[in-house]
Amino acid sequence: MSELPDIIPVFPLPNVVLLPRVQLPLHIFEPRYRAMVRDVMEAEPPLIGMALLRGDWQEQYEGNPQVFPIGCVGKMVKTVPLPDGRFNILLQGLREYRIQEEFHDKSYRRARVEWLPQRNQTLEPAQREAIGRLLASYLQKDEIVQKFLADSGITDELFINFFAFQLDLLPIEKQSLLDAATLDERATCLRDILDFKLSEGRWPEGGGGGKDRLH
């Protein structure tokens, strides 16, 4: 893959936090983000930085409301143009970044970013096993997840990032997971969130099943 650029397009959303190694399908319909996709299609590598909106973003949505400084860039691995100019795209999460400076010279936001260290470390086996037990309790009715939990061939990074992305958590909780400086810190944060939800009986809306706890 080509070297990561210093400046990337940024796509802010109020409820999506991307993480490395996971895939994110998106439907692009706003004119400014259609223009972003068209530009990205011509770029190498074709990257889009996902960022979580913060503060009173609803009042400024048509402009450039604040975003959290740490986001994750995704590579556009699939693009499906639709007849009316919209797109369906698929992003593959690659790397965390921190925004250093924003540019508003195009219809969409761009940013100069600092690329954060890759978090492809390994976990202590006991740490992964403890999180696996919590996930098994939290997602006890989801057979596919149970098979995923039992697959020792899945790397620690994918294991943590997959559930940090897929679990039906609040966006701010997912942002706290993304903000973690190391994989161990991200795993500890995920463990703490799950432990709290289990101990307090704070199930996502929809009851005590398993599938409704995943997106």
CATH number at residue 19: 2.30.130.40
Is there a single domain that holds both residue 130 and residue 34? Answer: no
Query: Count of domains in the chain?
Result: 2
Q: Is 122 left (phi over 0), alpha (psi -120 to 50) or beta?
A: beta
What span, in angstroms and rounded, lies between the C-alpha atoms of 67 and 6? Answer: 18
**pLDDT for res 210:** 46
Same-domain check for residues 17 and 111: yes
Q: Are strands 7-13 and 110-115 parallel, antiparallel or unpaired?
A: antiparallel
> What's residue 65's pLDDT?
86
201: alpha, beta or left? (left if phi > 0; alpha if psi -120 to 50): left
Same-domain check for residues 179 and 145: yes
35 and 102 both lie in a single domain: yes
Q: Which of 85, 115, 145 is where one domain is finished?
A: 115
Q: Could you tell me the pTM of the whole model?
A: 0.88
Tell me how far apart the alpha carbons of residues 101 and 113 are, in angstroms, rounded to a whole number.
7
147 with 104, same domain?
A: no
* Residue 1 counted as domain residue: no
Asked which of 95, 115, 135 is the last residue of a domain, the reply is 115
11 lies in the same domain as 98:
yes
> Is 2 among the domain residues?
no
- The last residue of one of the domains, among 115, 145, 172, is 115
Residue 188, domain extent: 125-213
Q: Per-residue pLDDT for the chain (215 aa), expressed as one digit of tens each? A: 568 999 999 999 999 999 999 999 999 999 999 999 999 999 999 999 999 998 765 566 566 789 999 999 999 999 999 999 999 999 999 999 999 999 999 999 999 999 998 876 889 999 999 999 888 888 876 777 778 888 889 999 999 999 999 998 999 999 999 999 999 999 999 999 998 888 776 544 433 344 455 54
Do 102 and 30 belong together in one domain?
yes
